[in-house]
């Protein structure tokens, strides 16, 4: 394979955007081409220095206030996360009633349309992810220490989710919480990726297990089974980042 043809592919490979066959072909090519190997290493180094440099800039509070109309209370723990306006209770009640009606009719509609149950579960986990980004909702136990987060789940759910910190790999543990999805209580492990939040929902694997990957409302999800657990990672990071976290969890 001449290198000119693979130069662009190198970027697709780096970004985890090649289909499995092209990726395998590119890896084969790498073995025989020191030039591409060197370029790939350099691109990886550039990518890492950009990530380390922390160039992402969040919206200032002044902008949020202008758009949301009123100042908001925020706990220190969630200050760095997006904080949509907290509604009054009347709004909440109305919104909850509306949401329930929408969810019920939507679920009926999806069933009629033959949308698979896994997509419904994924959609409910994306909703859970969105809820977690509301002020004060991200973590019940906030700690980067897996030995603090793991025991916290004892007695709260009837299984012990595997909890590991992957800070050295760029996925620091932020904490954990209990969440509800698809009518079940699930464990949610919260990881940070650069300035983004990843929720990893864990439950006991059941018979109608599911896996795969997809996108809903601008959020990506990746689901898999392992050691009797069902995992589903949800975030606005790229699918390649979710795949990297899946590998870390699977290998530990």
Partner 1 sequence: MLEGEDRARFEAIVLPHLDAAYNLARWLLRNRTDAEDVAQDAVVRAFRAFGAYRSGNARAWLLQIVRNTCFTWLRQNRMAAEFIEFDETTMPQESKNPETLALAGSDREQLTRALELLPESFREILVLRELEGCSYKEIAEITSRPIGTVMSALARARAQLRNSLSQPAPKEARRAV
Tell me which residues touch partner 1 (CB under 8 A): 7-12, 15, 17, 35, 38-39, 42-43, 45-51, 53-60, 62-64, 66-69, 82, 84-85, 87, 91, 95, 130, 133, 193-196, 215, 217-218, 220, 236-239, 241
Q: Which is nearer to partner 1, 21 or 53 (CB)?
A: 53
* CA gap 54, 207 in Å, rounded: 42
In the complex with partner 1, the residue whose CB is nearer, 7 or 144, is 7
Matching residue, tokens 């949610």: 188
In angstroms, what is the minimal distance from the CB of 207 to partner 1?
31
* SS3 label, residue 171: strand
- Locus of tokens 């939507």: 106
Query: Please, which residue, 24 or 67, has the CB nearer to partner 1?
Result: 67
Least Å from the CB of residue 127 to partner 1: 10
Beta carbon nearer to partner 1, 15 or 117: 15
Sign of the torsion formed by the C-alpha atoms of 239, 240, 241 and 244: positive
Q: 214 vs 131, 179, 219, 222, CA distance in Å?
A: 19, 21, 8, 7
Question: Assign residue 158 a region: left if phi > 0, alpha if psi is -120 to 50, beta otherwise?
Answer: alpha
CB of 206 to partner 1, least distance (A): 29
Least distance in Å: CB of 159 to partner 1? 30
Closest to partner 1 by CB, 195 or 247: 195
- C-alpha 6/C-alpha 25 separation (Å) is 10
């Amino acid at each position: 394979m001449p290198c000119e043809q693979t130069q662009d592919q190198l970027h697709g490979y780096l970004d985890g955007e090649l289909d499995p066959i092209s990726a395998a072909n590119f890896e084969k090519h790498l073995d025989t081409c020191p030039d591409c190997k060197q370029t790939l290493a350099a691109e990886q180094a550039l990518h890492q220095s950009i990530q380390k440099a922390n160039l992402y800039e969040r919206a200032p509070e002044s902008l949020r206030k202008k758009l949301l109309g009123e100042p908001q209370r925020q706990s220190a723990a969630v200050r760095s996360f997006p904080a949509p306006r907290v509604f009054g209770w009347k709004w909440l009640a109305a919104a909850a009633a509306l949401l329930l009606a929408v969810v019920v009719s939507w679920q009926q509609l999806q069933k009629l349309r033959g949308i698979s149950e896994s997509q419904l579960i994924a959609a409910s986990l994306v909703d859970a992810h969105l809820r977690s980004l509301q002020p004060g909702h991200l973590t019940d136990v906030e700690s980067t220490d897996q030995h603090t987060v793991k025991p916290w789940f004892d007695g709260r759910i009837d299984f012990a989710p595997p909890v590991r910190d992957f800070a050295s790999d760029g996925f620091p543990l932020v904490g954990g919480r209990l969440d509800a999805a698809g009518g079940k209580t699930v464990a949610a492990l919260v990881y940070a990726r650069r300035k983004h939040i990843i929720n990893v929902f864990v439950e006991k694997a059941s018979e109608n297990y599911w896996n795969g990957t997809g996108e809903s409302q601008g959020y990506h999800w990746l689901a898999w089974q392992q050691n009797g657990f069902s995992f589903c990672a949800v975030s606005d990071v790229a699918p390649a980042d979710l795949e990297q976290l899946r590998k870390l969890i699977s290998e530990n």
